[in-house]
Chain A
Amino acid sequence: MRTTIKLFALTACLAMIAACASTGAPATASPSIAASSATTPASAAPTASPIAAPTSLLKPGELSNCVDIEYSPMEFFAPADPTKPVGFDVESYQAVVKKLGLTEKIVNTAFDGLIPALQAGRCDIVWTALYINDTRLKVADAVPYFKSSHQVMVPAGNPKAIQSALDLCGKTISIQSGGLVQEASKAASDACVAAGKAAIKVQGYPKVPDELQQIVIGRVDAVWETDTAVADFRLKNPGKYDIAFTVPGDFKYGIYFGKGKADVGTALTAALKALKDDGTLAGLATKYNLDPANLDVIQ
């Protein structure tokens, strides 16, 4: 599957920095570079001194963050105050900003415009549950902060007995269009056709709520989404939906920043590490019904 190949490529990149550099990508393209360079100043100064704030910020003293605020539980507007962004990403970001002694600025940005905003210099970082993948790494750098996987969610009791991707052949599913799931579901559908079965009828929706509404009204047999979104939806609809299976393969959410801005990557990594070690991030994960073990990707 194409997605798997991409993952392998990414893993290979992470494992062998030299390999990445030799393929022409600047060394800073690899998240592991940012991670490893972060440990250097830390080991040079073993005292728990405050983490140095990045110097290449668009506006000195402010870490601006472009967020697509409509992905509960990662980023969404507080129901009690529809002008206040909350969620795991948002509150982790606020903790990092505090740790770095900077001021916060959240810019609500549509999904399609997130990476372009980084390229155009409208934001210092994009921290909004974006997977780390090679196409994005070509135009931006990232540090990982949370592990994630895809799940296929079905109505309670799994009436169509869906256990694996092949069971989806001939069934109708809804997904969010334009993301990794689109590629993965297309590959799964191609596998159905290759096995002589009917293709998967995939309905792509730009917005997650519209995607999830399809299983509510019963138009689709299953929803293929990230584990974070599925957990949130099941929490809000207790007992109504089950997880049919978890799609093999792990993904990492990353904080993206401008290409080559190693100082931003270094500061983010150091701050994430400190907040992971003192339990702040685990507390936020628990607060939003996420598994703190997924924070292991922070190193």
Chain B
Amino acid sequence: MNFDPQVFVDALTSEGYRNGALVAIGLTAVSQLTAVGIGLVLAVMRESSLAVLRAASWTYVWVFRAIPTLVQLLFFWNALPQLIPGLVRAEWYNAFVAAWIALSINEGAYMAEIVRGGLLSIDEGQRLAARALGMKPASVYRRVILPQLIRVIIPPTANEFITMLKITSLAAAISLGELLTYTQQSISTTFKFAEYYAAAAVWYLVIVSIFMAVQSQLERRFRWTSQGRRAGLIGGLTGLGGR
């Protein structure tokens, strides 16, 4: 067997891998959280009584689910500045921001469907009952629908989170190097495949393990109890709700 443990350990603990991992985690977190927000808005629009909102939501999902993620990344980095010249030299419009925007917009379309699925799973009677109790529509959403919705969409959203972690490697195409980019560059100068890929695999396992720990923590917070816990959306996410 031709495997140099020293190369593997050096790669695992190298600054390049650490920085690459940080870029991957950071981009995943901001993009996926933004996408969850976009998905919530789109899913609610889809249930709206206004036809124009329903159509806008449907069109968004149609367009951004259809166009490959890589094309969207390249579009936001290489083509958009051609259309909006101010973006080219804008200090804030760096590769990270462009990737954040592109990945959020793309992922938002998928999240919209996940949230819509969650909404469909909540029986219409819940809303009617809450309204019958005199709650305003906004309160119905915040106090009745959302807490149940979040519980339902956590597992598929965690799936998307993990997928997003791997999708961030596409950002290498717009000069944003993350974990996998660094791995491939190391290999292209050393040709030590097994060692570098194994080191990258270990990093991905660690990162996904952290994600899964966060997931189970979230699921615990939103676990169904009939004890009348007053943790709404904010309380549930931050743990500040009254217990």
Q: Answer whether A178 and B88 are a contact pair too, CB < 8 Å, given A135-B190, A210-B78, A210-B173.
A: no
The answer to whether A219 touches B190 (Cβ under 8 A) is no
Measured between alpha carbons, how far is A218 from B185 in the docked complex, in Å?
Answer: 26
A288 within 8 A of B: no
In B172-206, the 8 Å CB interface with A consists of 172-175, 177, 181, 184-185, 187-191, 193
Least Cβ distance of B50 to chain A in Å?
A: 39
Taking the closest CB of chain B, its distance from the CB of A6, in whole angstroms, is: 11
Kindly state the separation between the CA atoms of A214 and B94 in the bound complex, as whole angstroms. 13
Of B82, B174, B175, B190, chain A has the most CB atoms within 10 Å of the CB of B175
Q: Does chain A have a CB within 8 A of B74?
A: yes
Q: Is the CB of A112 within 8 A of B184?
A: yes
Q: Could you give, for residues 112-141 of chain A, a 1 whenever the CB lies within 8 Å of some chain B CB and a 0 otherwise?
A: 100110010000000000000001001100
A286 to B188, CA, bound (A): 32
Contact A177 B191 (CB under 8 A): no
Q: Are A178 and B184 in contact (CB under 8 A)?
A: yes
A204 at the interface (CB under 8 A from B): yes
C-alpha spacing A136/B187, complex, angstroms = 11
Q: B177 and A204: CB pair below 8 A?
A: yes
Residues of B within 8 A of A218 (CB): 81, 85, 88-89
**A112 touching B175, Cβ below 8 Å:** no
User: Any chain B CB within 8 A of the CB of A26?
Assistant: no
Whether A205 is near chain B, meaning CB under 8 Å from some CB there, is: yes
The answer to whether B162 has its CB under 8 Å from any CB of chain A is no
| Residues in chain B near residue A217, CB distance under 8 A | 78, 81-82, 88
0/1 string, A202-214, CB within 8 A of B gives 1: 0111110010011
Most buried by B among A111, A116, A205, A219: A219
B122 at interface, CB cutoff 8 A: no
A116 and B191 form a contact (CB under 8 A): yes
- Is A228 interfacial (CB 8 A cutoff)? no
Most buried by B among A116, A119, A138, A178: A178
By the criterion of a CB under 8 Å from any partner CB, how many residues of chain A are at the interface?
Answer: 25
Q: Does A92 sit at the interface, judged by CB under 8 A?
A: no
Within 8 A of B (CB), among A179-210: 179, 182, 203-207, 210
Write the nearest CB–CB distance from A10 to chain B, whole angstroms: 15
Bound CA span A178–B185, Å: 5
The residues of A that contact B74 with a CB separation of less than 8 Å are: 210
Distance in angstroms from A110 CB to nearest chain B CB is: 10
Q: B175: which A residues are within 8 A, CB to CB?
A: 174, 177, 203-205
Central interface residue in B95, B174, B189, B193, by most chain A CB within 10 Å: B189
B81 touches A219 (CB 8 A): yes
Binary interface profile of B, 142-184, with partner A (CB < 8 Å = 1, else 0)?
Answer: 0000000000000000000000000000001111010001001
Report the minimum CB–CB distance from B84 to chain A (whole Å): 10
List B contacts of A210 (CB < 8 A): 74, 78, 173-174
B189 proximity list for chain A (CB < 8 A): 135, 178
Q: Which of A115, A216, A219 contacts B89 (CB 8 A)?
A: A219
In the complex, the answer to whether A112 meets B188 with C-beta atoms within 8 Å is: yes
B185 proximity list for chain A (CB < 8 A): 177-178, 182
What are 5 A-B pairs at a CB distance below 8 A?
A112-B187, A115-B191, A178-B189, A219-B88, A219-B89
Q: Beyond the given A178-B184, A219-B89, could you list 11 further A-B residue pairs with CB under 8 A, ordered by the A residue number?
A: A115-B191, A116-B191, A116-B193, A135-B190, A177-B172, A203-B175, A205-B175, A206-B172, A210-B74, A210-B173, A218-B85
